[in-house]
Amino acid sequence: MAGRSRKTITPKTRLRILLRDNFRCTNCGRSPATDPAVYLEIDHYKPFSLGGADDDSNYRTLCRLCNRGKGNDEELNKTIDSDLLNVLDRVNSKITLAMATEGHATVVANSEEFAEISKLNRYFDGYVIEILPNTLMGYHAGFSLGIYTLNDNGGSKTQFRIAPRT
Ligand SMILES: [Zn+2]
């Protein structure tokens, strides 16, 4: 976003656009009112250099993730990918190796971690993620079945299969 638009958006314009868009991301519909992690930004979507109008029709409200994810930015995709792999590493450091050698991995993660992974993937879409019926199992049982899981018994879990999109 920074560097894309030359003109700074004044606080007055920012507020006017936020009010017009009901304080929701115009792409995914998320709002800080229901999700405190959402940070809204004003996107100036057609640069002046490309004939973009200098009026409200050229502004829209986007959450930070949608704003970052727009366009096909290779550098950005790599950053999002590495964030996602870090979360998988946190669950079990062998998951990335399994994906590299077998092409996929079956994982049991805390639901919070799963939410983080799917949120990141939504903007980058580098992986095919399939939620599997939840199986409650211990750490060691998981390993013997080829399921990568957390060494932790608390919280709700999500079981899923993840494979790099080819
Ligand atoms: Zn959004």
Domain ranges across the chain: 11-69, 74-164
| 147 alpha carbon – ligand 1 mean position (Å) | 32
Whether this prediction's pTM lies above 0.85 is answered by no
Phi first, then psi, for residue 5 (nearest 5°) are -105, 135
Produce one character per residue of 58-84: b if its CB has 16 or more CB atoms within 10 Å, e if not: bbbbbbebbbbbbeeeeeebeebbeeb
| 28 alpha carbon – ligand 1 mean position (Å) | 4
Question: Which protein residues have their CB within 5 A of the ion that is ligand 1?
Answer: 25, 27-28, 63, 66
Each residue's pLDDT, cut to its tens digit, for the chain (166 residues) gives 444 444 678 889 999 999 999 999 998 899 999 888 889 999 877 666 667 777 888 899 998 888 876 544 666 778 888 899 999 999 999 999 999 999 999 998 988 899 999 988 887 788 999 998 866 555 555 555 678 888 676 778 889 999 998 7
Contact 26, 20 (CB under 8 A): no
